[in-house]
């Protein structure tokens, strides 16, 4: 399908892409670019790429597909480094969790020769680094593409086919809408989980020990979400500021009204909400975005 | 171990207790009390009890162990009904998620003849009803007992042995401390998850559909927590008001400072917190309160 694929950033997503592309024979050659020499060495040890370099400009040479899979705050630097070295007609895509800011960071560095298809796979675990990836990460998951009005149709088709070959379902979406929807489904839950775990980590030592010991009551799930890569998430909040702050405001208003209901012993308001939220859960299960309920 | 065990409330916990007690031969006979005639019929169909009644006073007759497993808001009514009918020397225990208010609700209805051992197993799923239970629910989980200064030593020992026979680990704790610790590890996460899912459910239909479709990014985990039994959780918040409001205040302060960091583009504050929260996660994994990381 592709001749030489250069993946920039070999974390969970980048290394899963490399494994998937190799497994399904979607490219003749995979080139790894990662800013960490240690990560590059590990990638070669794991046999995930034919070549691994810390120099982006060197990595993209001769590549007909370049995939950026670094934290969104690093796009400007990566683009400044690779922009002048991309082959004409190269397809450039990415896996960034925010789309408007990514597009703004990429466009100044490419000309009309480069076929840019912004993308974002909705897949992940709380683990990071080249060892964390696996070829099946995208199986049955959504991958959202947010093409621009002038995005090349063939390139869009090829990137779509790539994701489908890895088992993903592809959705085409406006970048602004992507940032709002993901703000609700991903960025807000992560921010909240980080806050809850942070609040707990400030407790006196004795209580903190008990919190860890008895974490099975719900807190445990929050610690899993709040174990996600710190730099990746720092960049997401800074780069999706407007959408996150807007959603956070709505959340705060809702939390304040629940707080008032608890203070007033207003059980009815609580029960009404707790009943209403079950409908959303049913939607999630029907949309097959959940594995069948396990006995935990 | 026991002669006749009466379980009041055959939801997830009650029906799991019945299954576990039967599986491990811990009682000669299990009696079911549930306010719903339908639930009673289902319990008999499933063979979970020798007898099932909607009349608590009838159910506790001749029982040497009575376990209350109803929402904590229903304790006063249950105790008013069974108090005069408990056999002398009966052991009375419970599975309520709040302990101070439960003790207050129980004490006025029993005399010194009744041996009361307040308890709370830290186990559950988001499913409810007699069909949702399973004998292994308590395996490897904590069960907290919060005896009073005058709690009978033999009764405490027997209840402890019961939980251990079901595979649980037992911790003895002060009721007030229990309510604080569980407020952090369980009540706050549930309140937050209910709020996040509630905020999403207020979105316009088109956006809500997308939120459900792309829920895999973190939101999905919140919908699972927010699918828990509405009445049970309504009662928890009303009955653990003081602890929940205190923890909520700390959470709000922390969230406000993160909100400010996002508004100011202050990546360092975000990254510092996101790094700090990983330590708690390590603690949870070391405490074996988590299954080994799965590839999801």
Phi, psi of B110 (to 5 degrees): -130, 155
Residue A294 has pLDDT above 60, yes or no: no
Q: How far apart are CA A118 and CA B111, in angstroms?
A: 71
Q: At what angle do helices B230-239 and A241-263 cross, to 10 degrees?
A: 70
Of A122, A223, A237, nearest to B284 by CB-CB distance is A223
Burial classification of residue A68, based on how many CB atoms lie within 10 Å of its CB (0-12 exposed, 13-18 middle, 19 or more buried): buried
Residue A276 has pLDDT above 50, yes or no: yes
A261: three-class secondary structure by DSSP: helix
Residue B233 has pLDDT above 70, yes or no: yes
Which residue of B181, B182, B187, B253 is the best one to mutate when testing the A interface, meaning the one whose CB has the most A CBs within 10 A? B181
Residue A217 has pLDDT above 90, yes or no: no
Q: At what angle do helices A241-263 and A230-239 cross, to 10 degrees?
A: 100
Can you give the pLDDT at residue A290?
55
Yes or no, beta carbons of A245 and B263 under 8 Å apart:
yes
A39-55 mean pLDDT: 98
**Residue A19 and residue A48 in contact, taking contact as beta carbons nearer than 8 Å:** yes
Question: How many Å separate Cα B4 from the centre of its chain?
Answer: 24
User: Residue A236: which of B224, B8, B218 has the closest Cα?
Assistant: B218
Query: Could you give the C-alpha distances from A245 to A191, A221, B264, B266, in angstroms and in order?
Result: 11, 24, 11, 14
Can you give the pLDDT at residue A293?
40
Yes or no, beta carbons of A202 and B250 under 8 Å apart:
yes
- For B69-87, letters b (16+ CB in 10 Å) and e give bbbbbbbbebbebbbebbe
Of A214, A218, A247, nearest to B225 by CB-CB distance is A218
Q: How far apart are CA B52 and CA B146, in angstroms?
A: 29
Q: Which structure tokens are listed for A128?
A: 């990071």
Chain B environment of A181 (Cβ under 8 Å): 207, 210-211, 214
Size of interface A-B (CB pairs under 8 A): 320
Chain B environment of A241 (Cβ under 8 Å): 262-263, 265
Of B123, B211, B251, nearest to A199 by CB-CB distance is B251
Phi, psi of B173 (to 5 degrees): -150, 155
Q: Which residues pair with B6 in a beta bridge?
A: B31, B66
Phi, psi of B124 (to 5 degrees): 165, 170
Distance from CA of B59 to the nearest CA of A (A): 29
Q: Which structure tokens are listed for A264?
A: 């007033």
Residue A80 has pLDDT above 90, yes or no: yes
Can you give the pLDDT at residue B296?
31
Q: How far apart are CA B82 and CA B261, in angstroms?
A: 55
Q: What is the CA radius of gyration of chain B?
A: 21
A258-268 mean pLDDT: 96
Q: How far apart are CA A29 and CA A51, in angstroms?
A: 9
**Residue A159 and residue A117 in contact, taking contact as beta carbons nearer than 8 Å:** yes
Yes or no, beta carbons of A289 and B220 under 8 Å apart:
yes
Q: How far apart are CA B221 and CA B206, in angstroms?
A: 21
Of A134, A188, A284, nearest to B196 by CB-CB distance is A188
Residue A292 has pLDDT above 50, yes or no: no
Of B181, B214, B228, nearest to A182 by CB-CB distance is B214
Instruction: Give the contacts of A236 (CB within 8 A, at least 6 positions apart).
Output: A72, A97, A98, A187, A190
Yes or no, beta carbons of B237 and A270 under 8 Å apart:
yes
A6-12 mean pLDDT: 97
User: Which residue reads 């396990």 in tokens?
Assistant: A294
Of B199, B245, B278, nearest to A263 by CB-CB distance is B245
User: Of the given ranges (B92-96, B119-123, B201-205, B272-276), which has the lowest mean pLDDT?
Assistant: B201-205
Can you give the pLDDT at residue A220?
92
Chain B environment of A137 (Cβ under 8 Å): 295
Residue A137 has pLDDT above 90, yes or no: yes
User: ipTM, 2 decimals?
Assistant: 0.89
pLDDT confidence band for B32 (50 / 70 / 90): very high
Of B195, B217, B274, nearest to A251 by CB-CB distance is B195
Residue A289 has pLDDT above 80, yes or no: no
User: Which residue reads 């040890």 in tokens?
Assistant: A45
Q: Which residue of A has its CA nearest to B278?
A: A227
Distance from CA of A87 to the nearest CA of B (A): 34
Q: How far apart are CA A156 and CA A65, in angstroms?
A: 12
Burial classification of residue B153, based on how many CB atoms lie within 10 Å of its CB (0-12 exposed, 13-18 middle, 19 or more buried): exposed
Q: Which parts of A136-244 are beta strand (E)?
A: 142-145, 169-172
A53: three-class secondary structure by DSSP: strand
**Residue A218 and residue B190 in contact, taking contact as beta carbons nearer than 8 Å:** yes
Q: Which structure tokens are listed for B134?
A: 């399973």
Q: How far apart are CA B220 and CA B213, in angstroms?
A: 10
**Residue B182 and residue B120 in contact, taking contact as beta carbons nearer than 8 Å:** yes
Chain A environment of B250 (Cβ under 8 Å): 199, 202
Distance from CA of A117 to the nearest CA of B (A): 20
- Cα B66–B72–B75 angle (5° rounding)? 55
Q: How far apart are CA A139 and CA A183, in angstroms?
A: 23
All structural domains of chain A, each given as residue ranges with its CATH number in brackets, are: 2-173 (3.40.50.720), 177-286 (1.10.3660.10)
Chain A environment of B179 (Cβ under 8 Å): none
Distance from CA of B176 to the nearest CA of A (A): 12
A6: three-class secondary structure by DSSP: strand
Q: How far apart are CA A26 and CA A91, in angstroms?
A: 14
Chain A environment of B127 (Cβ under 8 Å): 293
Chain B environment of A136 (Cβ under 8 Å): 295
| Residue pLDDT, tens place only, B130-155 | 999 999 999 999 999 999 999 999 99
Residue B288 has pLDDT above 90, yes or no: no
Burial classification of residue B38, based on how many CB atoms lie within 10 Å of its CB (0-12 exposed, 13-18 middle, 19 or more buried): exposed
Percent of chain B beyond pLDDT 70? 97
Yes or no, beta carbons of B254 and A199 under 8 Å apart:
yes
Residue A54 has pLDDT above 60, yes or no: yes
Distance from CA of A197 to the nearest CA of B (A): 6
Looking at per-residue pLDDT, the higher value among A205 and B240 belongs to B240
């Amino acid at each position: 399908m592709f001749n030489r694929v250069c993946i920039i950033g070999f974390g969970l997503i980048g290394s899963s892409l490399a494994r998937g592309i190799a497994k399904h024979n979607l490219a003749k050659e995979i080139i790894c670019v990662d800013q960490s020499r240690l990560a590059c060495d590990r990638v070669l040890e794991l046999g995930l790429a034919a070549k691994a370099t810390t120099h982006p400009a060197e990595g993209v040479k001769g590549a007909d597909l370049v995939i950026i899979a670094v934290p969104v705050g690093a796009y400007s630097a990566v683009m400044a480094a690779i922009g002048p070295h991309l082959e004409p007609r190269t397809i450039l895509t990415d896996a960034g969790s925010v789309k408007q800011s990514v597009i703004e960071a990429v466009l100044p560095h490419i000309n009309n020769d480069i076929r840019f298809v912004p993308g974002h796979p909705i897949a992940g675990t709380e683990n990071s680094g080249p060892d964390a990836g696996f070829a099946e990460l995208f199986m049955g998951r959504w991958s959202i593409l947010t093409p621009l009005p002038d995005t090349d149709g063939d390139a869009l088709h090829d990137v779509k086919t790539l994701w489908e070959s890895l088992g993903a379902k592809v959705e085409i979406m406006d970048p602004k809408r992507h940032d709002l929807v993901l703000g609700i489904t991903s960025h807000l839950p992560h921010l909240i989980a980080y806050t809850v775990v942070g609040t707990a980590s400030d407790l006196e030592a004795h209580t903190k020990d008990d919190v860890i010991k008895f974490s099975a009551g719900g807190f445990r799930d929050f610690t899993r979400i709040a174990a996600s890569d710190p730099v990746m998430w720092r960049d997401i909040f800074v780069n999706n500021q407007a959408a996150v702050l807007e959603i956070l405001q709505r959340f705060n208003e809702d939390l304040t009204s629940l707080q008032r209901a608890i203070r007033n012993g207003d059980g009815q308001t609580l029960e009404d909400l707790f009943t209403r939220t079950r409908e959303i859960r049913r939607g999630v299960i029907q949309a097959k975005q959940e594995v069948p309920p396990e006995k935990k």
